[in-house]
Amino acid sequence: MTEQKQALFTIFGATGDLAKRKLYPSLFRLFKKGELADNFAVIGTARRPWTDEYYRGVVLDSIKDLMRSKTEAEAFAAHFYYQSHDVGDSSHYVNLKELGEKLRHTYKTAGNQVFFLAMAPQFFGTIAEHLKSEHILTGEGFERIVIEKPFGTSYDTAKALNDSLSKVFTEEQIFRIDHYLGKEMIQAVSAVRFANPIFESVWNNEHIDNVQITFAEFIGVEDRGGYYETSGALKDMIQNHVLQVLSLIAMERPAKFDESHIVEEKVKALKAMRQYTAEEALENFVRGQYSAGYFDGETYRGYRQEDSVASDSQTETFAAGKFVIDNERWAGVPFYVRSGKRMTEKGTRINIVFKKDPDNLFAGNCDDEQSPNILTIYIQPTEGFSLSVNGKAAGQGFHLEPFRLNFRHDSEFLGNSPEAYEKLFLDVLNGDGTNFSHWEEAARAWELIDVIRQAWDNQTSEIPTYPARTMGPANAFELLAKDGREWAWQPDLWYRERGYYEK
């Protein structure tokens, strides 16, 4: 039987997009499963002068697709309270404290508190300080703070942010969200690696030729131009999600499968990654920005035509690069990464490309090249694995042909599998920080990224472009071609052959 959790949640930024799209539905899923029942309450806070009643209406609206009955949804929403509050105004914390004390007793939350900061990072420090100075932190039960990305905009700003949080919370109390770590198939990477001797024994530079990590998005920048102009693909995706995934693939086997051992190994892997000079950063990293494109009867506008984007913007909507790891396991194995918006299609996947057999037995019998074995981990939108192997082409004669051993999770599994934020909320309640970003990881990731960012910022040439609905600019293909390699996943070729790009 599920044991219900006891906690008072305070959500800062309760009127915002993240709260409505992700947080309330995730809490509701936990409610439906009995993880949250009688002993929880939520204080939503932001500047808008909402009433409890209006707020509950917003919460109900955000869960309308998930509700089984009106009674159940209303029972859930009844746990929500709204307090209008400007986080910069000290006097408002007095009201928050009073309301919190009342709810703690009413709902018997055992003094446990979770503060979710669904707000821009510039507010994090001041909120943390006020939680302490206004005695909202009582030390009665567990007290945990959950913060959203971006965690800083450079090493220096991230360090300043971390320093201000650390004055109030210990590292064990800080949960830095990287929502990719809550995804089913990212969590499955460790299972694939460490529960299968056939993979574990070849997970090294003797057998792996290169690793490719693709985070392709179909969507453009949508209504987030204002934020994206200050970020770009490198900081928005590579610094956090991509490097997190890379460290899971590259880390050594942890002594135990628990938070401290896993984080220790991830940090070691990140620290073993080569720190590029500015010159090396330019050699190994490329960027691009989507221009207008045409695909299957539809025209897509370019990034510079998007709302809140400067008409001469140099912001990259695509970044690709090669990381190298200077340790025994990975010496000589490039880790190619790419992430972009308005690419051919949505697809997050990891390709582990194995070395070909140097001694091709079939060389004299048939002219066919052996294809490399490729293990693909599909993160989204489909979730599963495939392994491509060489076989004999059916029919007369002897020819090699690559076949794919495929496994995809079925729709029942996907339908029942918890959403990333739901898992992460539960982890916070359980005090398990395994699937969160820790300071040492974020710090090292910024060190690796800062040099690339600065090298690009110092360039005077115009940013290269790529047409919307393609797999990025030409330089992303040249990056691999100059190493004698190519991207294992090129969906645009499939569409091109079938005329999807022809007007």
Ligand X SMILES: NC(=O)C1=CN([C@@H]2O[C@H](COP(=O)(O)OP(=O)(O)OC[C@H]3O[C@@H](n4cnc5c(N)ncnc54)[C@H](OP(=O)(O)O)[C@@H]3O)[C@@H](O)[C@H]2O)C=CC1
Residue positions forming the annotated binding site for substrate: 179, 183, 217, 236, 341, 346
Q: Please identify, among the stretches 44-52, 260-268, 446-454, 475-483, the one whose residues bind ligand X according to the rule CB under 6 A.
A: 44-52
Q: Report d(CA 199, CA 191) in Å as an integer.
A: 10
Least CB distance to ligand LXAUTJHC at residue 217 (A): 6
Q: Distances in Å between the alpha carbon of 490 and those of 215, 298, 387?
A: 13, 21, 17
270: Cα separation from own chain's centroid: 17
Q: 221-280: which residues touch ligand LXAUTJHC (CB under 6 A)? A: 236
Contacts (CB under 6 A) with ligand LXAUTJHC, residues 121-150: none
Residue holding tokens 């746990």? 79
492 forms part of the interface with ligand LXAUTJHC (CB under 6 A): no
Smaller CB separation from ligand X, 5 or 29: 29
Q: Tell me the C-alpha distance between 281 and 447, whole Å.
A: 12
119 is an interface residue for ligand X by CB under 6 A: yes
254, interface contact from ligand X, ligand LXAUTJHC, none, CB < 5-8 Å by kind: none
- Beta carbon nearer to ligand LXAUTJHC, 40 or 180: 180
Q: Which of ligand X, ligand LXAUTJHC, none binds 217 (CB below 5-8 Å, type-dependent)?
A: ligand LXAUTJHC
Residue 228 CB, shortest distance to ligand LXAUTJHC, in Å, is: 7
Q: Binding string, 72-111, against ligand X, x = CB under 6 A?
A: -------------xxxx-----------------------
Which residues lie closer than 8 Å to 334 by C-beta, 6 or more apart? 210, 211, 322, 323, 324, 483, 485
CB of 76 to ligand LXAUTJHC, least distance (A): 24
Please provide residue 200's backbone torsions phi and psi, each rounded to the nearest 5 degrees. Answer: -60, -35
Which amino acid makes up residue 458? Answer: N
Task: Decide: is 306 part of the binding site for ligand LXAUTJHC (CB under 6 A).
Answer: no
Q: Where are the alpha helices (DSSP H) in 150-258?
A: 155-166, 184-194, 197-200, 225-228, 232-233, 243-250
In 261-294, which positions are buried (b, 16+ CB within 10 angstroms) versus exposed (e)? ebbebbbbbbbbbeebeeebbbebbbbbbbbebe
Q: Which residue of 18, 77, 245, 428 would you call a contact of ligand X, by CB under 6 A?
A: 18
Question: Smallest distance, Å, CB 236 to ligand LXAUTJHC?
Answer: 5
Q: Under a CB-based contact definition with an 8 Å cutoff, are residues 10 and 82 in contact?
A: no
Residue nearest to ligand LXAUTJHC (CB): 236
Q: Which CA distances in Å does 127 have to 133, 154, 365, 415, 486?
A: 10, 21, 71, 37, 48
Residue recorded with tokens 């006097």 = 91
Q: Are 144 and 173 in contact (CB under 8 A)?
A: yes
Which tokens hold the place of 137?
A: 């932190």
Catalytic residue, candidates 241, 261, 409, 438:
241
* Cα distance from N-terminal residue to C-terminal residue, the chain: 59
C-alpha of 451 from chain center: 22
φ and ψ at 367, to 5 degrees? -85, 0
Q: How far is C-alpha 48 from the chain's CA centre? A: 30
Binding-site annotation: residue ranges for NADP(+): 13-20, 47, 86-87, 149
The distance of closest approach from Cβ of residue 83 to ligand X in the complex, given in angstroms and rounded to an integer, is 10
Q: Please state the closest distance from residue 348 (CB atom) to ligand LXAUTJHC, in A.
A: 6
- Taking CB under 6 A as the criterion, the residue among 15, 112, 348, 435 binding ligand X is 15
Question: Which residue in the set 79, 149, 183, 304 belongs to the binding site for ligand X (CB under 6 A)?
Answer: 149
CB closer to ligand LXAUTJHC, 195 vs 219: 219
Nearer to ligand LXAUTJHC, 217 or 427 (CB): 217
Residue 47 touches which of ligand LXAUTJHC, ligand X, none (CB < 5 to 8 A by kind)?
A: ligand X
Reduce the secondary structure of 120-153 to three states and give it as a string. Answer: CHHHHHHHHHHHHHCCCCCCCCCEEEEECCCCCC
48 binds ligand X (CB under 6 A): yes
**Which position among 5, 7, 8, 13 is part of the footprint of ligand X (CB under 6 A)?**
13
To the nearest whole angstrom, how small is the minimum distance from the Cβ of residue 237 to ligand LXAUTJHC?
6
- Residue 176 C-beta: closest distance to ligand LXAUTJHC, Å: 13
Say whether residue 217 binds ligand LXAUTJHC (CB under 6 A): yes
Euclidean distance between CA atoms 389 and 373, whole angstroms: 5
**Cβ(113)–Cβ(143) under 8 Å?**
yes
User: Is 241 designated active site?
Assistant: yes
Residue range at the interface with ligand X (CB under 6 A); choices 7-15, 155-163, 314-322, 370-378: 7-15
SS3 for 258? coil
Q: From CA 162, how far away is CA 159, in angstroms rounded? A: 5
- Quote the longest CA-to-CA distance of the chain: 84
Which structure tokens are listed for 293? Answer: 């494109």
Please say which residue, 265 or 441, places its beta carbon nearer to ligand LXAUTJHC: 441
Task: Residue 296: name its binding partner from ligand X, ligand LXAUTJHC, none (Cβ under 5 to 8 Å by kind).
Answer: none
Residue 86 interacts, among ligand X, ligand LXAUTJHC, none and using kind-specific CB cut-offs from 5 to 8 Å, with ligand X
Instruction: Count residues near ligand LXAUTJHC (CB under 6 A).
Output: 2
437: three-class secondary structure by DSSP? strand
- Residue 167 CA to residue 334 CA, distance in Å, equals 39
Q: What does the binding site for ligand X look like in residue numbers (CB under 6 A)?
A: 13-18, 46-48, 85-88, 118-121, 148-150
Binding site for ligand LXAUTJHC (CB under 6 A): 217, 236
**Which positions are catalytic?**
241
